[in-house]
Structure 1
Amino acid sequence: MPCTCPQLTNKIVFVVSFVGNRGTFIRGYKAMVMDMEFLYHVGYILTSVLGLFAHELFYSILLFDLIYREETLFNVIKSVTRNGRSILLTALLALILVYLFSIVGFLFLKDDFILEVDRLPSNHSRASPLGMPHGAATFVDTCSGDNMDCVSGVVVPEVLAEDEEPDSTERACDTLLMCIVTVMNHGLRNGGGESLFPARVVYDLLFFFIVIIIVLNLIFGVIIDTFADLRSEKQKKEEILKTTCFICGLERDKFDNKTVSFEEHIKLEHNMWNYLYFIVLVRVKNKTDYTGPESYVAQMIKNKNLDWFPRMRAMSLVSNEGEGEQNEIRILQDKLNSTMKLVSHLTAQLNELKEQMTEQRKRRQRLGFVDVQNCMSR
């Protein structure tokens, strides 16, 4: 759908607000030139202007905006550009191999490079002296030399020559440049050369296995592996966002069997949008109206220091840990008290046993003394 003037104006306003919100104007022209997203929007505006004032064909270029907006399609483009150096070097290797095959074909197999071509039909409609097409009946005037008696209006039909069958083949390797172009064009597109002649079986098979199977599949492999890596990175990012708090970095399992669940934690305790709102508040608020925490956060933001974020900490977990420690201390104290009671009871039993043993010893001593006295009296 063609872009209208209101839409173009809306896009220009969007770009100006976009640059203003990112602070590009403050950072200078160098930052504007290096900002790829800004350059993309500027190119979008220029394309719209060309489509509006030059030609409607430029509007078709705007369809690439779908690639920019859709992450999956953007990853398809990145799978080619991310490892562009590897792909270019592999393509250079393919060109070198094609060049070598072209030299071999030019030196030894130039007579076998015969291509079938579809020639354009020859033009038999050459004009006659009177402007009539060739093969049509023409009116001529015949005059005698002496009397100048002329007879006009004699119809002399022209005889058409029989059309010759044009040659449908053409030599394609008479020069080295022709060989290179032929091998690159027909060889790569036909999967290893033209039809196999007896003298070119080995040549075409080597071209097929080395260039088509190995080199081209290397390029395809790099692209496919890069796309798989991008998809894995995207899935990993989504998994991290689902299972890890964006603010503190604590994982979901840290909130198992706690009073606060992970969903409540990321929505109420560490809501990332609340942190963003607080940063905006600090930036737009007058410095003279700062509170103590706001002054501290403003200074940390100015120094690009993120230590004010509660990394690997949460109030709910701290309170739960405190309660857990108090419960453990209480349990240990109860165990200590019971142990002390048991020790006291055992001490009392030992004292009673000691007293009993002492009384028995005294009793034995008395009995022994009585026995000695009896013996002496006898």
Structure 2
Amino acid sequence: MSVIDITPAAALATVFPIADVVGADETVECAAGRVRYVNGDYAASAPALAAVATEIAAALPQYASVHRGAGHLSQLTTARYENARTVVGDFVRARTDDHVVFTRNTTDAINLLSRAVPGDTVVLDIEHHANLLPWRRSGADTTAKPELDRRCRVVTCRPTLAETLAALTDELHRAPAALLAITGASNVTGEVLPLSRLADIAHDAGARILVDAAQLAPHRAITVAGHGIDYLVFSGHKLYAPFGCGVLVGRGDWLDAAEPYLAGGGATADVPSTDESEGENEVAWRSGPARHEAGTPNVLGAIAIAAACTAITDLGFERIGLHEHALRTRLEEALDAIDGVERLSIWSERRDRVGIAAFTVAGHSPRAVAEYLNDAHGIGVRDGRFCAHPLLRHLGHPEGAVRVSIGVGTGSDDVDRLAAALRELTTRA
């Protein structure tokens, strides 16, 4: 692989051709006139890669219902759908016997797994609500269903990562737990967690580990087997495949033992007649991914995720990482140099981050800053509490913050326009 020169020099532009990302050359009207739109909201939903749009366009004329169809288009679409599982499994280096279940999104995938975990779950208070609330609900109906006697045990993060890992270790050893559910990268600050070390901590305590990779998968290579991850979840819409599909990858025993996530066609092996005698009226459910994919699945969403996995692999995580590191460094240095701008961090020590930065601007609400950037400069960012209310309170900003996030369609001029706009905001009367 050739070495790519990516530096934070003033002339740096996106290393990926603008045609690689759908809508990268979109223009909008703002106070400055019609300008190219700066998409600083990749962490919420990334635009589609051109390769993904091309794959979907090719699949649409041949689209048909999957499984059990004898027709040519049904067989062709089924092959594409099932091949998507293989592509996704290969993308995250899953074990050969892992299940790859397609869901609606990351939230859906975690809710699915929450019904299969046979014991307590330990989480940190830095998590997105998608990795907090399902665990709180998993033991809500213990009277009617004693088997759901499971608790969510929340550990408060400490000032340093080392102290936080020690607190997690203590909690996992204090009382038995079935699962440690942890983010791979914070959706607020972009700080990356040490997955292999966390897996070791969980396994040493007799627990398994779930990694919420919604913010990590688009930026870094993940090795399920190599990192020791038991379950991995992520969303297509953050992986440059915005077609409403997510993924749960992981060990099959808990999933096969759990009640089907949805009751319906496709999840069943046999449904007896309702007038059969007691004891012979049990539905026979399938095992494997089909057990939790009742109904017609989001076929095009699965195809899109697989296409994104292939396209990202072709681009190369080394190339993506170099590009992102240069732009993230440029962004952080620019934010830190502006009076009144405070950049947020979970831990005091300098941590590896993906292309996300959250900040506040003294004297301005997060919504006012976001509206100003859009209305005056054609720059789109996120504001609020990012579905991570406990973390924002922990960071001392219960009212929220502004978040800018970057991706393969981001260039140095985008970062420079954001920095110039913030300087203007903080220095004007």
TM normalised by structure 1 equals: 0.25
TM normalised by structure 2 equals: 0.23
Question: Which structure exhibits the higher relative contact order, with contacts defined as CA atoms closer than 8 Å and separated by 6 or more residues?
Answer: 2
User: More strand per residue: 1 or 2?
Assistant: 2
User: More helix per residue: 1 or 2?
Assistant: 1
